[in-house]
Amino acid sequence: MKIYLHYDSDVQAEFGPSDTELDVSSLNECTFIFQFNGGGVEVITNFFLDQYGNKFGSTGVLGTGDVGLVGGDKVLATSGGLKEKDDVFVFVKSRVGEVKREEVVKEVVKEAAKKDVTKEVKKELKRDVKKAKDHFEAKRYKKARVLCEGMLKGDKGNRDALRILGDIHFRNGKWERSLEAYKKTVKSWGAADGGDMLLSDKISLARCMMKAAQYEAALDVLEEVADAMKTMTRKAGEYSLDDAVIFMAVCHKEMGKLVESAAITEMIIKRDQAHFAGLLNYADIAARMGKHQDAVGILMRCIVMDQQNEEVKRLLG
């Protein structure tokens, strides 16, 4: 936690430049208004240091628990209010004397208004994200795209909007646009630990790279994801570790490495005989190797699992 002093213009000459980090040695007797991230306002009047550097003051509380200050820059919150991660801004209003209640109330109202606006904006964004997802699922892609583009005007790094936009372009076969959106989605995580959602976003990116025939790049991403998923007990979004491995097998296949692809696919099918993407890839490998009867047999199993699958129909044709 850091504590900063914000001096009003009429006391800057005495106390020094505004918005500097708190130096207790420079303070004797002051009036403070505390404003902090946790909400609420604290007023400390007739503040002073004793001979040992300990700080004391009478406290008037508005909106949160009592706050007391002790030596150094430690802040204690006896109930609610400040947390160790919160930055504190101390507004010095005058050298000595009590701050008028009206001034404090005014500050509280201003802060509350800011929070209400932020809260409302967040609610609106959540509503827009839900609407965009609903439009996407209902194949109303234009409406979903317009909503996403609107959200991105206000926040270029809006992860939900970028992800949905990537899905829209992917569904419509616009690989380059989809790639751009998925890359921005992954980048938006920055140094944050996105966990399974970040891995899911990376798999979406890799799948799009595969559609754009960028197999080596996709393989690099998938290997990274598979390594991370080995220690996970849950899926990355809708994808399992086996899904990521099968996508790797598809990359090998498309790069002409049929034997390597077949070996990886066999490993997955032995573990899960109903892995649809695995069976589909195995059928395609068999067809490319000239083993047409084997391919048809596998595809018949796929038809039972999903009669409407376009890839199955394409391979059977």
SS (H, E, C) 25-75: HHCCCEEEEEEECCCCEEEEEEEEECCCCCEEEEEEEECCCCEEECCCCCE
Q: C-alpha 133: how far from its chain's center? A: 17
Residue 299, pLDDT score: 93
Look-up: residue for tokens 């991105």? Answer: 152
| 174 CB-side CA count, 13 A | 12
- Domain spans, the chain: 3-99, 106-188, 201-317
Residue 118, pLDDT score: 60
Residue 16, pLDDT score: 52
What is the residue-level pLDDT of the chain in tens, covering all 317 positions? 344 444 445 545 544 555 555 443 444 333 344 433 333 334 343 333 333 444 444 333 323 333 333 222 333 332 233 333 444 444 444 333 333 433 433 444 455 455 554 666 678 888 999 999 999 999 999 999 999 999 888 788 889 999 999 999 999 999 999 999 999 999 988 866 778 899 999 999 999 999 999 999 999 999 999 999 988 877 888 899 999 999 999 999 999 999 999 999 999 999 999 999 999 999 999 999 999 999 999 999 999 999 888 889 888 87
* Spatial separation of the C-alpha atoms in residues 213 and 205, rounded to whole Å: 12
* Spatial separation of the C-alpha atoms in residues 217 and 206, rounded to whole Å: 8
Output the CA torsion sign for 242, 247, 248, 253: positive
Residue 235, pLDDT score: 85
* Spatial separation of the C-alpha atoms in residues 168 and 46, rounded to whole Å: 62
What homologous superfamily is domain 201-317 in, according to CATH?
A: Tetratricopeptide repeat domain (1.25.40.10)
User: Please, are residues 126 and 98 in contact by the beta-carbon 8 Å criterion?
Assistant: no
Residue 195, pLDDT score: 83
Residue 204, pLDDT score: 96
User: Please, are residues 44 and 3 in contact by the beta-carbon 8 Å criterion?
Assistant: no
Residue 307, pLDDT score: 86
The Cα angle at residue 164 between residues 171 and 201, in degrees rounded to 5: 95
User: Please, are residues 33 and 93 in contact by the beta-carbon 8 Å criterion?
Assistant: yes
Choosing among 1.25.40.10, 3.30.1330.10, 1.10.3720.10, 3.40.50.300, the CATH entry for 106-188 is 1.25.40.10
- Which pTM does this prediction carry? 0.62
Query: Based on the number of CB atoms within 10 Å of its own CB, is 260 exposed (0-12), middle (13-18) or buried (19 or more)?
Result: middle
- Give the number of residues written for the chain: 317
Residue 84, pLDDT score: 39
* Spatial separation of the C-alpha atoms in residues 282 and 288, rounded to whole Å: 10
Do domains 106-188 and 201-317 share one topology? The answer is yes
User: Please, are residues 202 and 227 in contact by the beta-carbon 8 Å criterion?
Assistant: no
Residue 252, pLDDT score: 97
